[in-house]
Amino acid sequence: MTDHSATDHSATDHSATDGSVTAKVRLAVVGLGRWARVLARGAQRGDVVDLYSCYSRSDENRTRFMDEFGIRRCASSYEELLGDPDVEGLILTTPNDTHRELIVAALEAGKPVYTDKPIAQTLEDALAIRTAVTAAGLPFAVGHSARRLSGSRVMKQRIEDETLGGVTLAEANFSNERGLELTPDTWRWYLDKTPGGPLIQLGVHHADNLQYLLGPVAAVSGYQRKLFTNAEVPDATMTILEFESGALGYLGCGWASPGVYQIRLQGTKQNLMYDLDFTHWDEAHEADEWSSLVSQEYGQQDRTPLVLPPTDMFREQLEEFALATRGQAEIEVGVDEAIRALAVVHTAIESNRLGGKQVEVAPFLDAIGRTEG
């Protein structure tokens, strides 16, 4: 069993961006469920992050997590964790509706925070987080990792170098079977904790991806249905997006089918079609090997496979955050980008409430103080 009382701060050195050698960045994990383990494996594939401490309300979960990942210490309370001067930042993987309280407390205690997506359950909570981020002036990152997949990066490059031409239509889908597995003892079962169901859990990734690729969404029409799951949440959502550029998009999300992860872009010079095998999602360093991106040139029927350079989205985002705590990196997805993704989700929920009527995103952003970028 791991020595839970050890306080040895030694760790393998890594080369900083300026060529100097420095100790690993000591981060603590908060919320020790399945996703915390996925991120922990990602962090330990590199040599930047030291998983130094952890916290969960469950003694059993703390012990299991420490033993699995060789973590030297834990905290018996959140307050104890925040008071540990050796913890340089937090990795937060708790339920959406806990984000505001935990993030604000951490920032006020002087701890930088990485939180998994979405940034919060509500836009009001997201505003409170943004206020705390601004006041603290500390690094803050949100786990919209999917934009780091090789397919997303290559598509972005082809948009920027105009290989794709002008984009008129975008289609994205992120679905899996998790809605069929929900039980009343899981927080995702409940509509007040998971508004929009798969849209806020899965589709928020594409709300970020598509705005990363095509710019801000201006208006949304949303449709959500509960067909096969026994939970309170919908298991089928369809969201029609109108971008500020004038392009149109479709964002589909389901919680009652085998895993699907797709993005399609239609340009005036070329079409791009990206598919990822969802069964390899958790092991991000392998995901690109189980993905395909093909192009279809204007006037041609053939589809040409494109090279996808290897990436590791979970490792990359955590290392970026860790280095940012020491002033050695810039955060790519921070509070403003995360709020824009969440605003698309809540605009779609409002549209569904209105029977699919198109709803502008701007009032949702204006209501909490418009954010640029």
Instruction: State phi, psi for 115 to the nearest 5 degrees.
Output: -120, 145
DSSP state of 26: E
Check residue 22 and give its pLDDT: 67
Q: Please report, to the nearest 10 degrees, the dihedral formed by the alpha carbons of residues 326, 327, 332, 337 taken in order.
A: 90
- pTM of the full predicted structure? 0.91
Q: Which carries the bigger pLDDT value, residue 347 or residue 299?
A: 347
ω before 118 within 30° of 0 (cis)? yes
Which residue in 50, 89, 51 sits closest to 325, CA to CA? 89
Tens digits of residue pLDDT in 318-327: 999 999 999 9
Given this model, what pLDDT does residue 9 score? Answer: 33
CATH topology match: 13-143 vs 146-311+334-367: no
Residue 8 has pLDDT above 80, yes or no: no
Question: Could you read off the pLDDT of 75-128 as tens digits, one per residue?
Answer: 999 999 999 999 999 999 999 999 999 999 999 999 999 999 999 999 999 999
Express each pLDDT in 326-341 by its tens digit: 999 999 999 999 999 9
The candidate with the shortest Cα–Cα distance to 16, out of 43, 42, 48, 44, is 48
% residues pLDDT > 70 (the chain)? 92
> pLDDT tens digits for 185-243?
999 999 999 999 999 999 999 999 999 999 999 999 999 999 999 999 999 999 999 99
Q: Is the per-residue pLDDT at 11 higher than 90?
A: no
Q: How far is CA 258 from CA 175, 189, 223, in A?
A: 7, 19, 21
pLDDT tens, 283-297?
999 999 999 999 998
Tell me what pLDDT residue 370 has.
59
Over the stretch 252-269, which tens digit does the pLDDT of each residue have?
999 999 999 999 999 999
Question: Which tokens go with 311?
Answer: 């990436």
pLDDT at 298 over 90: no
> What CATH number is given for 13-143 in this structure?
3.40.50.720
The tally of CA atoms less than 13 A away on the side-chain side of residue 342 is 28
Banded pLDDT at 299 (limits 50, 70, 90)? confident
Quote the mean pLDDT of the chain: 92
Burial class (CB in 10 A: 0-12, 13-18, 19+), 88: buried
Does the structure show a pLDDT above 70 at 21? no
Fold exhibited by the domain 146-311+334-367: Dihydrodipicolinate Reductase; domain 2 (3.30.360)
Query: Domain-by-domain residue ranges, the chain?
Result: 13-143, 146-311+334-367
Mean local confidence (pLDDT), 276-288: 93
User: Is 351 in a helix, a strand, or coil?
Assistant: helix
Q: To the nearest 10°, report the CA torsion of 155, 158, 164, 170.
A: 20
